[in-house]
Structure formats: structure tokens, C-alpha cells
Amino acid sequence: MKILVVDDEPSLRESLRYLLEQAAYEVCTADTGSRGLELAQSWQPDLILLDVMLPGMDGFEVCRRLRGADFSGIILLLTARDQEIDQVQGLELGADDYIVKPFRHLELLARIKAHLRRLQRQAEPVLSSGELEVSNHRHEVWRSGQKLDLTPKEFALLLFLLENRRKAQTRERILAACWGYEFEGEARVVNVTVQRLREKIEADPAHPRYLVTVRGVGYMWDV
């Protein structure tokens, strides 16, 4: 992930560069608002640490111009001013958050990581159904924002049925898709996996809302 640091204080700028590079981020720095704006548009960082009090073009103006140019990365304002009007102004201009100086490095890193996780979730395709969200890229499932702990086979079964929602699937078809054609076990392994998956995703496993039984056929995702 790429982070741009825009601050006119050399010691802070370089300490932030060192901190972020130690955390395995790719870092670029600028000491003026105009240079920061130029780098943001050409380098396209994932996140910008942007000082408000910059010589010439201040951080508010940089933020305004970036959002006006449809910059989609995270913008965190660094400010020594703690008045509410400054915080409100920054957020109204399109900043995602503000951090008041002086700040602790560990707290800054935690804020950066939280924002970048949100950016990654927004950038990747996520399948939604009812209260469930499924990320195929990260093999993760959330229910009402709470991450669920699924086994690889439970996740494969959920994803297969979700991608084929409202289409009844036989146990044999599920076996082929989730276990592979070379699987030599019994088809009842599907029943067991379905039951375990229901216990994790359904509010009432006895009366499933998502993973329903189709009598005489098999199972279907029905939301």
C-alpha cells in the first residue's frame, strides 16, 4: 500500500517515513501543498497524511482540489489545531479523518491500518445476501458486520450456492463443485457440512433463511 506524507516539518516528515516504511508501506513525501497535490495526482497513493498548516497552499485547499478531481484514496489531516470548526471544515472538504498533533505513533499506525482495511473492502468485489457479506478474495464472511469462522469447505459450499442463488443443486453437483470429481467419500458429507454451515450463518438453524432444503433434489440459497 502506498502512503504520501505531506508536511513542512523535516523532522516529523522523516520520522513518519521511517515509521511507515518499517510497517512495510511504500512511502513518498512532500514539503508543500502544491508538491503534495502534484504527487497525489501522479503517484495515486492509497492514503495521504496531509498537514493542514502548509506554506502556500494549505492542507484544506489540497484536500478540496483532490476530491474535486475524484481522488478516491484516504485523506487523514494532521493538525495542531483542536478547534471543532477546523475539524468540521476538513471533513466537509472530503477528509476521512483528522489527527491532532502531537500524536502517538502506535495510535497513528492503528488509525492508518483501520482506514486501509476499509479501503480494501470497498475496492474488492463483495457478494451480499441479507445480513451476509462474502469476500471471495479473502475467503471471509461477515454477518451484520461480525466476521464468521468458516472452514474451507463451509466457505466453498456457501460461495457455490450463493453464486447460484435460487437454483436447486443436487448433492452430487455440490460434491463435484466443492470437493472435486476425484472425491471418493459419501454424499452425506454434504448434509453434515450444510448443517454445520447453518449453525454459523442462520439465526435459527432449524428454520433456515438462507440455506434451504429442496426436497427430492438437494439444497438451494434462497434469499
pLDDT tens per residue across span 71-126 = 989 999 998 766 666 777 888 889 988 898 889 999 999 999 988 887 766 655 67
- Of the candidates 101, 123, 145, which is a domain's last residue? 123
86, 104, 123: which is the final residue of a domain?
123
| Assessment of whether the complete model's pTM goes beyond 0.75 | no
Q: Both 131 and 118 in a single domain?
A: no
Burial of residue 80, with CB atoms counted within 10 A of its CB: 0-12 exposed, 13-18 middle, 19 or more buried:
exposed
Domain extent for 102: 2-123
Question: Which of 57-61, 125-129, 181-185, 187-191 shows the lowest per-residue confidence on average (mean pLDDT)?
Answer: 181-185
> Do residues 119 and 130 both lie within one domain?
no
Q: Are residues 68 and 141 in the same domain?
A: no
For residues 58-73, b (16+ Cβ closer than 10 Å) or e, as one string?
A: ebbbbbbbbeeeebeb
Residues 44 and 137 in one domain: no
The CA-based angle 44-104-28, given to 5 degrees, is: 20
Q: Are residues 60 and 160 in the same domain?
A: no
